[in-house]
Every structure is written in structure tokens, then in C-alpha cells.
Structure 1
Amino acid sequence: MHETLIDGIPAFLVEGPVPTTVGLVFGVGRADETFVRGGLTHLVEHLVMSAVGRTAYDSNASVDLNRTEFTASGTPEQVRDFLTRVCRALGDLPVDRLRVEADVLRTEGAAAAPPAVGILLAERYGTEGPGLAGVREPAIRSLTAEDVQGWVRTWFTRQNAALWLSGPVPERLVLPLTEGAPPARRPLRRAEVPTPGWLETPMEGAVALGGELPPGVAGPMTLELLRRRLEDELRHRRGVAYAVGADRFALDAETRFGVVVTDVRPGQEDLVVRVLWREVQRLADEGPTAEELEVERRTILADLDDGRGDAGEAASLAEARVTGVPAYDRVELRRQLSGVTTAEIRQTAARLRNGALLAVPGPLDPDPAGVPRIPGWSRDAVQGRTFRRRRRRTGVPKGATLVVGDDGVSAVLEEGAITVRWADAVGLVRQGPGEYQLLGRDGFALPLSAADWRDGEEAVALVRAAVPDELQVDDDDVEETAGLLLIRSPEHRVREAIAMSDHGATVIANAEWTAVVADDAPDFLVRQAELTAAPGRSPVSLVLRQTHADLEYVLYRGYKEIARHRWGIAPADPRLLAEAVQRAEESVSRLHRAGGTPRDIAEEAVAALGLPPQVPALLAGEPAVGGQRVEGAGAFGGFKASLRGDFVPEQGKRTRLERYQRLAHRRPPWFRALNAAGVLVYGLLVWGLVSWREHLDGWQFWLLLALCGASLLNAVWDARPLRRPAGTDPAGTGPAPSEPGRTPTG
């Protein structure tokens, strides 16, 4: 093997026959990302491979903690073609496939490390650096074309690339990568976790131990010696486990993280944990026997003598060049092996023991050999404004409080507090209407629900104001239930329903349908139910949902679902929609058979169902052009506005009540004079009732007094002069319907 430069990029070459096997390595992985931008590296890799397309030869790509690699195996010409395609794709990413590949990543659910390793890394390093391997990527769908292109310009450059190759080198090999500066990497940061310690994890049927090791050959030898002892004890002697594995991960130039994982027969978890910890202690206190050490040394030497490992050595050296984590060639490994002693293995095992984290699938009682449980609570709570728990409809335990202060936020329970300080926040993830999760650098996650606390919306608003905007993201799953609500009801009735709720919305209407672009505060289905209750008796409504691939509608009468149709995937009976919206069944059938993109189908739905023309743009997430904003005034405020006639249309057919509401809204002089006369009449009636009280039964007197008193108050109200500026909507819903600024409905 020898090192050279190919097109200015370091290359590690191994001579050999065809096929030619190659790896283009970049020094970037999951550990280089942030929590809220998790998945960027993997998304770039997917976009590149989608541009490369299918090949007649073996090709693949992968992302782990600190490197990304594109590999291929075939003839020299095929390998050259693959590398050229990869480099060109990095210079011109197919960002039109961004949403598709983001959904592919969500479906794939891949991680930069095995689950047991990820859990231990997250516990030891929190929610940054290598700890991100154990944390879900919350907002892949929020990543934009600018995000991925900027990531490529920073990390996928000529200055952060290396090549390894086994077999004949392709002629005229060119690697057209962009120029850049060597990227800066964050220093390794450890969470404040007391070690050794154990933690309960959701891993069923597995027990794992992890801890830091030094670089060099003593680390993997120590792990393998421990693995062999556990296999002998747990599998061959006791029969409570089958597979015992060990692995080591390079974190930086000076730190490796070693992990030993074993499966376990149900009910034997406590035994396996105690045996595992006993063997770690034995190896740290006594070291290996001379025979164990010699067997392990011979095993490694045999691997080094195997010529089939030449390509692996070249790959390791290429990775070391771009990550800054040293790798050793065979000469250096043989030198280290010859000098390994029992004392060095004992010292390495002691470091592993002293920094060990034990991950177990259930509680341990008592703790194994003095290893304490890792605290599940923060060391302290912040001082600030205290929010009390709601008495009903909350999952928060009794006595719990939420404290929001200048330094951070704490959820305080009887057992302890969960605290995230603003300086340590790595992400605020909206998981639903009024539902958030705040994550700190140390790995603590604090759930925030406005419904759990008195004045909970104020508490959430304080938290959102304290966390930088760039750290606030929507969880990918939030969009799953969203959609565009269209109600087959006059606009003024929908505006009235919005005003009577607690949350505003924007409406766009025509003569038949009213589209509602709702705020994200309430749950979408709750919003649909509350807005279809007031507009009329069981009004028809449609919820349209669009993805990058499909369009779907859900048909409701009131808040009861009566039909659901997804074009090309899950058809519905067209008769149900035709009857609900009073259209010819053949017309709806043609709409159901429509093809093309979701936008094409949405435009056909506009024509077939008479929907507002802005619907296709609204489904695509474009601004609500021509919409009218309506603020939620609550039940009392909305009711007052309704009584005033704020939502009675200026033109068109109106009921007697609506005509009266319109007069009460405007109060012309003759209307006020009539009500002034009514004040006198109803005042006399009240005086007469009080004077003749002894001649009436008790219930009759109070009933008549209530009716006359209410009429008197109404007359007094309507006799007042109009004090608000002309054209102002008293409900705070924008211009009054009679003003020129109102959005046309036709």
C-alpha cells in the first residue's frame, strides 16, 4: 500500500487485480450536526445517491458518527464513472427531491450507531457531538435546500476528502470537488454524569456496558478479553445468553468509547448485570492471565498477516486523514502488540470500570456491587414565576409546579426537578398544538404542555421567548394530521364561529365555500369541530391534505366523517361527495379519476366542486393571498359581537334576527329614538310590576320582572349613540363587512 495524491486529494492505494474497489471519504458525520439540524449529513448522502442513480456495479454510501463514505466496486472505468457522478452531484444537489428523501430517511430510521451504543453515548455526552447518535432526528422535513447546500459547502469539499482504492487505478481519474477551508470541529464535551453508574433503558433483552478507553491496541485487546470471559460465563457455563459482542468507536484523537453488549434470557437480567460487573472488576484488579494475553496477541497478529486486510487498512488511513483521529499501519500495530503487558491491560480495564455506564432493561434492587443508579433529576431548580398544575385533565402529578425564570425552566415534582437552562438549550420541539419538548445539552428533556398548567399558554410563551428562534422546530409528525379546512357555509357564519373560539384564523371565501387557514394553537380536529358547530346545522366540510406525492380529502357532516378519498391510492364512493356538495355524480366521478400532480388534481377539484381558486396555492403552503384575518375573542367576546350584528352580511338574504342585528350594529337616529321610547315603556312596566307585586304569584312576578328588565337593558343599550369609528369591526376582526377593505366573496 502507498499514499499519493489524485487530483489533489490524498489517496491510499493497494495494488491488486480487478475488481477495483474504491471509497471516497469525507470527514463529517452525525457528531458534527446539531440537535435541531439532525439528519443533514444523511440527507446529503441520499440526495447524492439519488443523482448517481442505479448502477450495473456494486455501489453504496454510509454515514456514521464522524465520516461519510461513498463506495463502489467494478471495472476501473465503472469506478471512475461512479466517482465523477458523486462529485458532480455534490456540486449540484437534486434539491427538488428534498421532501421525498426526507421522508425516506424518516421511514429508514437509521442511526449512526447501534441502539445500545447510542443510548450509552447520549448518556455520557448529552445531546451534542457523539451523544447525538442516541437522539432522534426531530425535524428532517424542515431542512431546506439552503441547509443542505450550505452543509455541502462546509463539509463536502476537497479539503475534507480522502480516497482509498484497491485494485487497478482508473486512468484519467478526476475528482471535481469544490474548494473549501478545513472545517472546524467542536471539542468533545462530557455530560455531568457520575460514573460508574447504571441506568434503566428501553432495550429489552439486552445489557450493555460502555466507557472511555485510550487510543492504541490495549483498548481493543481489553474489550476482547472481557468479551471472551463473558461469553464463557454467560453462554457456555450458565446458558443465560447467546451472543456477546464488543466494539470500539473513535471520538477524537485521544478518546475511544468501548462497548460490550450481551443478550439475556428473560428473567436473568439481574444475574447478567452482576456477572458483567464482576468480570470488569476482576480484569481491572488482576489483569489477564499470561495465557489469555498471549492468545489475544496471536489472534491480532494473524489478522495483520492476512493480506485480505490491506483494503481495510487503506480505508482506515483515509478515514484518519479526514477525521483527525489517528490510525495505525501494520508496522505500528505490531510494535504496540509486542509491548503490551498485563499491567497495561489492567490499567485500561480500570479506566473502563471507573468511567463505566451500565444500561439495563429494568430496575435493579439492590444496586450491583455498589454501582449507584444514575440520577434521573437535575441537581437544582431555577427561581422564577411559578405555574400551578391544573386540577383536571392533566397528566402532571399532584403537587407539581412549573418554574420559568431568567436562567431557565424547571418542572418540580416530589421526587426532584428537571431543569433546562437557557444557555444549555439545544432545541425546543413543537410536538402538537400547545405541546412542546425542551431539550438541554446534558440530555434532560422537559415536556411542556399549555393544558397542564394554570395560565399554561403564558408559560409556553415565556419559554418560546427565551429560546432562540433557530433552536425552535416542528416535529416531523406534527404535519401528519394537518390540512386545509373548507366549510360549505357562508363566510359570515364561519367568521362568527372563529370569533367565538380562542384562536384566530384567516378566511378566504367565495359564494359557496369558506377556506380556513387556522392558527396552529388548537388541535386540528378540535378546530374542525368547533368551526363547523356554529355555521349551521351539520354543515358539510372538506379537509384537504397534500404531500409531495398524493392528495387526499376527508368529507365531514358536522364533525362526523362520512367519506375519505386519496387519489390513485384509496378511492371513495363519489356518490357521497356528490350528494353532500350537490354536484352531479358523473362530475365527481371524473374528479376521482383525475391524475397528475397534487396541484393538478387540486385545480380540477376547484373547478368540479366550486372551491375558492386559492386552494391549490394554500395546499402547497403558499401565503393566503386575498384572505381576511379573524381574531378569536372567546365565547363571551364572540357572543357580544354576534349580538351587535358584526357578522351579518351587508348584502344578500337575511333573517329577521340578522336584520335586527344589522340595525343594532349601525344604530341610525330613528332606531335609537324608537329604543328610547322603549326605555320609557319598559321602565313603566317594571315600576308597575313592583307596585302590584302582592297581586302576583311569586314565580309569575319574577318571570315578568326578568323579561321586562332584560328588555329595558336591551333598549338602553340600543338607544346609546354610536361611539366607535365608522367601519371598525368591534370584535377586532378587521374592517366591517360594509367597508371597501373587505375581501370580496365572489
Structure 2
Amino acid sequence: MHTTSIDGVPAFVADGPAPVAAGLVFGVGRQDETFVRSGITHLVEHLVMGGVGRRAIEVNASVDLTTTEFTCTGPADQVAAFLRDVCTQLADPPVDRLQVEADVLRAEGGTVASPPVAHLLGELYGADGPGLAAVPEPALLALTVSDVRTWSARWFHRRNAAVWWSGPVPADASLPLPGGEVPPRPAAVPRALDTPAWTGSPFPERVTLAARTGVRSGVGACLAVLRSRVEDELRHRRGVSYAVQTEQVPVGPDEDVVVLSTDVRPGHEAVAAHVLWEQLVALALHGPRPEELDHERAVLEAVLDDPRSAVEEARSHARDRVTGTTPVTRSELRARATALTPEAVRVVAAALRDAALLALPEPLAAGPAGLPRWPEWSQEVVLGREFRPTRRSGAPPAARLVVGEEGVSLFLDSAERVTVRWADVVGLVRVDPDTSRVHGRDGFALPVVASDWRDGAEAEALVRAAVPAELHVLADDARDGAVLLVKAPVHRVEEAIGVTRWEATLVGDERWTALVPDEAHPSWEWAQRLAGVSGQRTVALAVRQGRVDADYVLYERGVEVDRHRWGTVHGDAGRLARLTGADPAAVAGALFRSGGPDEVVDHLATVLDLPEDAVRLLRGEAVQEPRRVAGRGVVGGMRAAVRGDFAPPPGSGTWTDRYAALGRARPWWYRLLNALAAVALGVVAVRALTAWDGLGGWSVVVAVVVGLLAVCSAVEVRPPRRPAPGSPGG
């Protein structure tokens, strides 16, 4: 192997067999992300590979905990062309397929480690750094074009890259990456809990052990000897297992998490756990036998003598370069293996024993003798306002939710409790209209379900106010991507939005208003917030037209009353017709119509007589003059309503709208009538106090009421402050 440079990118070149293989490696992976931006590295990789397009050669890309790698195999010129195109795409990631690729990642559901390994990384590190391997990406659809471009510019540049290559490098090979500075990568910080210990695992018929360790001589040999011993005992002697696997997971410069995992026949999990732990303890006490160590040396020599090992050495050096790990050459590996002693392996085994965390499948109630259980509940609580469960919540009678200045605690009973401190929150995920989930850095999370607690809406509001806004995300499954159709004129919806702090894009007419929600609030939140804009029977329809299918959710007074998905879930055509005033037969035909998403939604729009611009929004098309409305808060919104900012166009609206417009214009005859009314009402008020003795105490009440009406009429005598909207000069 020799080293060179291609356009400033370190290159590690090995003389490998044909065909040529190469890989471009970047020092960024899953553990460099944050909880709320989980999956962004994988998303960049997908966008770049989509931009590169299909190739005649074998190409691939992957993201693990610490690196992202683009690989290819084929003729040298095509390999060079692929890597060059990858660099071009990284300099300006193609974002036109952002939402599609985000959906692809949701469908893929992949992780950077096998599920049992990811689970233990989460136990060891919580929901931060390497522990993010255990966390499903909560909000891929919330990642924006700006997020992607910023992330790519931060990490995917020549200062954070290295390339490995097997075979001759073409003279015209180029890697046109942008420049940049390598961001600091904080050291992985494990949870401050005592080991060795055991913990529960959601994976049946599998026992797994993990331990943090430094990258040093003897770790590989120790794992190999331990694997052989466990396999001999479980498979060859007892017949309860098929395969025992080992893995070294890099989590930082010169730091690994080593893993040993075995499958096991149902009902024999406790036996497998006992054997695994017993063999590790024995190796830590007595070390390997000389013949075991000789066998592992021979295995290593065979690997190093394989011509393909030179390519693996080049790849290892490229990865070490971008992660800051100390590289080790093949000759150094040979020397270390020759010098390795049984005592050195024993010391490594003792370190693994002391740092071990053993994962046992539920419902095992105990681990090997003498091994304590890893804490499954929070060790601390917070003080604050207590919320008790409602009768319908199904929570234990002793349950309570405590929201305080330092954090939030959920108590199921005196021993079972979960606490997340505000200083340790990594994300607040809105799951559905009633539920938010608070995630802590230590991996604990608790749901806040408003309907489960008395005054639960206040509890949820306190939690949302305590968590910084940048940590609020909407779960992908809760993001409907719908257009909200409100059965009310545009000016009414504008007025309802005016008293909020939200923003939306509106189009519509006197009958329907189509609203495109902002990123922070899904359609069901808007339906709740806008309830009442056209009286107590506000009707709203959240229509979603996707690439694959289409559906709607029907709301009355802000409450979901029905839903329909064409071809699968059938809604109530009669209810939709009654609430929208459409023809029942036509509505029924629209709901049972077959065809693609465009066709069925277009037919529904015709039946409901939706405005043309609303139909364009449903299709995802641009409209010429949409209204972008921003809320002004309660005070600002009420002032705007009094000024007439939300008045309907002249000659339209209800009688109350027209009367309000008249009160703002105040023509001469309107003021004259109010002056006469004020005088007449004043006379009546005086007479009530002086002449109506038969009424007794009621005369005072009558006088006060009539007097207030007289004052209101007198106020209307003033000239208007400004022309009414739509009037000359207005």
C-alpha cells in the first residue's frame, strides 16, 4: 500500500486484484447528528446517489456510526467517473426529490447497527452520540432543503474526506470537493451507571453482551477466544445455539464497543446467558490456553497472507484518517500477534468483564448469579405541579404527572417512574393531537397525553413552554401533508388566524377557504384552532393527495367525525353531504369512484364546488395570488378586527358583516339616526328614574340599561377614523 493525494484528498492505494475497487469516505455518521435531526446524513447520501443515477458498474453507499462511504467496483475509468460525480453532487446536493427520499428512508427503516447491537448502544449512551443508533428517526419529513445543504457543506468536503483504491489510479482521476473546516467531534459520553450489569431486551431468542473498550492489542484475540468457547459450549455440546457472532463497533478515536451475540432455542435463554457470562469470567481469571492463542495467531496470519488484505488495509487507513483513529499496518498487526501473551489477553478479558452489559430477552426476571440489573426506571424525580389521572385514562390510581421548574416526572407507582430534566431534553415529539413525547439524553422518554390527566391541556402547555422551540418536532406519522378546506369565507378564516401566532397560506371564495398549514402545525391542529370561525358548526375537511393514494379527514367543531381513503377505508357519504350541503348521491359517487389520486380528488372537488385555486393547491400546484396570513396574537387580532382588516369585499358577507362595515363608514344619515336615538334613549332613561315609581327597584335597572344604549348610540355619532374598506379613498 502507498499513500498519495487526489485534489487534496488523502488517497490510500493498494495493489489489489481486478476489477478496480474504490471508496470515498467521510468522517460523519449517525452519532454526529442530533435527536431531532436524526437521519440527515443518510438523507444526504440518498439524494447524492439519486443524483448520480444508475451505473453500469457496481456502486453503493452506506452510513454507519462514524463514517459515510461511497463505493464502486469496475473498470478504472468508470470508477473514477463515479467518484467524481459523487463529489459534484455533494458540492450542490440535488434537493428536488427531498420529500420522496425522506419517504424512502421511512420505508427502509434501516439502522447503522443490527437491532440487538443498537439496543445496547442505546442502553450505554442514551439518546446521544452512539446511542442514536437505537433511536428511530422521529421527523425525517421535517428536514428542509436548508438543513440538507448546511449539513452537506459542514461535513462533506475535502478536509473531512479520504479515498481508498485498489489497482491503478487513472492519471485524470479527480475529486472536486469543496473546501471546509473539520467540525469538532465531541467524545462519546456513556451514561454514568455501574457495570457489570444485565438489562432486558426486546429481542426474543437472543442473548447479547456489549462492553466499552479502548482500541488496543489483544481485543480481537480475546473476542475470538471467547466466541470459540461459547460456541463450543452452546452449539457443539448443548445444541441450543446455531451461531455466535462478534463485532467491534467504533464509537470514537481509539474507542470501540465490542459485542458478542448468540441466538438460542426458545426456553434456553437463561442457559445461554449463564454460559456466556461464565466463559467471560473464566477468561478474565485464567486467560486463554496456549493452543487457543496459537490458533488465533494462525487465523490472523492466514487473513494477512490473503492478497485481498491489502485492499482492506487501504480501506482501514482511509477510515482511520477521517475518524482520527491511530492506523495500524499489516506488519504491525503481525508483530503484535507474535508478541501477544496469555496474560495480555486475560487483562483485556478482565476489562471487558468489568464493563460488560448483558442483554437478556424478556420476560427473564434475573441474570446470572451476582450480576445486578441495569436501572430500568429513572433514579431521580422533580418537584412541581401535580396532575392526577382522569377516570377514563386507564392509568393506575396512584399515577401522577409532575411538571416543575427542573423537568417532568411520570409516576406509575412509588418505584416505577420516568424523569426527564429540561436541561437534558433532546427532543419533544408531537405524536398526535392528544400526545407529545419528551425524550431525555439518558434515553428515557415519557408521553404527555392531555386526555389522561385532569387539566391535561395545561400540563401539555407547561411542557411545551419549557422545551426550547428548536427541539419541537412533529412525528412523521402525524404529519398528514393535507390541505385544510374550511367551509367558511376567506375573511372569516383570516379573522380566526389573526388572534393566533400561526401562519398559513389561504385561497378561497365566499363558501370555501383552502388553507395550507405551516410546518409547525398539522391540519388537525388548525381544524381545532379554527373551530367556531363560522359559528358553532364549523366544518373542515383535511384532504391529502399523495403520490400513491388520497384520503380525507372530516372535522365538525374541531373534532374528527369521519375519515375516508379511496379504495381502502370508506367514509360516511351521508354525513359528508349533510355537513357540506352537497348532493348526497353525488357525494356517494365521489367516494366510491375508482382511479388515481388526481382523478378521485378532482371529482370530489367538483361535487363540493371547490374554488379553482383550492383544487390547484390540492394538486400541489402554484396559485397566482395566495394570501399569506400571519397571526397577530389575541390583542393585535382583536384590534385588527375592530379596524375592519378582516372585512369582506363590499356587497358581500352576512348582515352582521354589512352592519359592521356601516359602523366603520358612518355616513351622515347613519350618524343622524344615532344622534336621534341617543336623545330618545336618554329621555327614556331619565323618565325611568323619575316617573316610573310603580317599577320600584327595577326602574334603576331599566335606567342603567337604556342609558348604556344611549351612550353607544352617541359614540356612533363621531365621524369615521378612516374610510371603510372598499369605499372611496379606502
The Cα shift of 1:21 comes to 0.8
CA shift, 1:332, in A, is 0.4
Structure 2 residue aligned with 1:399: 398
**Which residue in the other structure is 1:243 paired with?**
243
The 1-side partners of 2:159 and 2:529 are apart by: 57
Aligned residue for 1:96, secondary structure, equals coil
Letter in 2 for 1:407: E
| Separation in 2, partners of 1:574, 1:367 | 57
* Other structure's SS at 1:392 match: coil
Counterpart for residue 59 of structure 2: 59
* Cα distance in structure 2, aligned partners of 1:72 and 1:116: 29
Q: Distance in 2 between matches of 1:675 and 1:285?
A: 107
Counterparts of 2:566 and 2:682, CA distance in 1: 56
Give the structure 2 partner of residue 335 of structure 1.
Answer: 335
TM-score by length of 1: 0.78
Number of the residue aligned with 2:150: 150
What is residue 180 of structure 2 aligned with on the other side?
180
Q: Secondary structure at the match of 2:479?
A: helix
TM-aligned CA deviation for residue 49 of structure 1:
0.3
**Partner residue of 1:390?**
389
Is 1:309–2:316 an aligned residue pair? no
Q: Which amino acid aligns with 1:390?
A: P
Measured after TM superposition, the shift of residue 444 of structure 1 is 1.6
Aligned residue for 2:93? 93
Cα pair 1:532 1:541 within 8 Å, conserved? no
2:319 aligned partner: 319
Aligned runs of 1:24-173 on 2, under 5 Å? 24-173=24-173
Is the contact made by 1:437 and 1:445 (CA closer than 8 Å) also made in structure 2? yes
Q: CA deviation at 1:561?
A: 4.6
Cα distance in 2, alignment partners of residues 205 and 675 from structure 1: 92
Aligned to 1:733: none
Aligned equivalents of 2:39, 2:539: Cα separation in 1: 41
Match of 1:625 among 616, 621, 627: 627
Partner AA of 2:406 in structure 1: D
Q: Partner of 2:550: helix, strand, or coil?
A: strand
Which residue of the partner structure matches residue 643 of structure 1?
A: none
Partner of 1:354: 354
How far did residue 451 of structure 1 move? 2.7
Alpha-carbon distance, 1:89 to partner: 0.5
Map 1:210-249 to 2 at 5 A.
Answer: 210-249=210-249
Indicate how the Cα distance of structure 1 residues 344 and 21 shifts in structure 2: closer, same or farther if over 3 A, else same.
same
- Determine the C-alpha separation between the residues in 1 that align with 2:494 and 2:711: 23
Partners of 1:484 and 1:619 within 8 A in 2? no
Q: Is 1:552 aligned to residue 550 of structure 2?
A: yes
Give the secondary structure class of the aligned counterpart of 1:245. Answer: strand
> What is the CA-CA distance between 1:658 and the residue it aligns to?
12
What letter is aligned with 1:191?
R
**Structure 1 residue 167, shift from structure 2 partner:** 1.9
> Are residue 284 (structure 1) and residue 284 (structure 2) matched?
yes
- Seq. identity, %: 43
Deviations 1:456-475 (A, max 9, x none): 33333333333222222221
Distance 1:253 1:576, change over 3 A: closer
User: How far apart, CA to CA, are the structure 1 residues paired with 2:402 and 2:178?
Assistant: 49
Matched letter for residue 46 of structure 1: H
Q: Which moved more, 1:258-267 or 1:12-21?
A: 12-21
Amino acid paired to 1:625: R
Which residue does the alignment assign to 1:19? 19
How many pairs does the alignment contain? Answer: 692
| Match in the other structure for 2:202 | 202
- State how far apart, in whole Å, the 2-side matches of 1:350 and 1:311 are: 33
Counterpart Cα distance in 1 of 2:331 and 2:628: 74
For residue 194 of structure 1, report the CA deviation from its aligned partner: 1.8
CA drift at 1:183: 2.7
Q: How does 1:573-722 map to 2 (within 5 A)?
A: 581-582=582-583, 605=605, 609-611=609-611, 613=613, 616-617=616-617, 625=627, 720-721=708-709
Distance 1:534 1:161, change over 3 A: closer
Write the deviation string for residues 387-436 of structure 1: whole angstroms up to 9, x where unpaired. 22132232543233333333322224421442222222222222222422
Distance 2:660 2:705 in 1: 13
Name which of structure 1's ranges 214-223 and 508-517 shifts more when overlaid on structure 2. 508-517
> What is the deviation of 1:70?
0.6
Using the alignment, how far apart are the partners of 2:529 and 2:320 within structure 1?
A: 59
Q: Name the CA distance, whole Å, in 1 between partners of 2:152 and 2:238.
A: 52
Stretch deviating more after TM superposition (72-81 or 486-495): 486-495
What residue in structure 2 maps to residue 255 of structure 1?
255
Structure 2 CA distance for aligned equivalents of residues 273 and 42 of structure 1: 35
Letter in 2 for 1:386: R
State the shift of 1:363 in Å: 3.7
Partner amino acid for 2:552? V
Number of the residue aligned with 1:691: none
For residues 294-338 of structure 1, the C-alpha deviation after alignment (integer angstroms, 9 at most, x for no partner) is: 112211111111112221111111111111112322100111101
Q: Distance in 1 between matches of 2:317 and 2:566?
A: 55
2: CA distance, partners of 1:62 / 1:2: 25
Q: Which residue of the partner structure matches residue 430 of structure 1?
A: 430
Contact 2:31 2:65 in 1 (8 A): yes
Letter in structure 2 aligned against 1:219: V
* Alpha-carbon spacing, 1:180–1:650, altered in 2? closer, same or farther (3 Å): closer
Q: How far is the alpha carbon of 1:511 from its aligned partner?
A: 2.7
* Contact 1:507/1:514 (8 A) holds in 2: yes
Mind listing any 5+ residue stretches in structure 2 that lack a counterpart? 636-645, 663-669, 717-721
2:97 aligned counterpart, secondary structure:
helix
Q: 1:172 to 1:492 in 2, by over 3 A?
A: closer
Secondary structure class of the residue paired with 2:149? helix
Structure 2 matches for 1:354-503, cutoff 5 A? 354-383=354-383, 385-412=384-411, 413-480=413-480, 483-488=482-487
Q: Distance in 1 between matches of 2:375 and 2:570?
A: 53
Counterpart of 2:332 in 1: which secondary structure? helix
Question: Which digits, 9 at most, give the CA deviation of each residue in 1:545-566, with x for residues without a partner?
Answer: 144x367353859766586448
Q: Write out per-residue CA displacement over residues 246-296 of structure 1, whole angstroms, 9 at most, x where no aligned residue.
A: 111122233221101111222222222112111111111121222222112
The verdict on how the C-alpha distance between 1:39 and 1:653 changes in structure 2, with shifts beyond 3 A counting, is closer
Cα shift readout 1:642-682 (whole Å, capped 9, x = no counterpart): xxxx9999978989x9999999xx997869969989x99xx
What does the per-residue CA deviation read over 1:495-524, in whole Å, with 9 as the maximum and x for residues that have no partner?
A: 99999x9x9999865233244678988993
Asked if 1 retains the 8 angstrom alpha-carbon contact of 2:550 and 2:566, the reply is: yes
Give the residue type in structure 1 aligned to 2:183: P
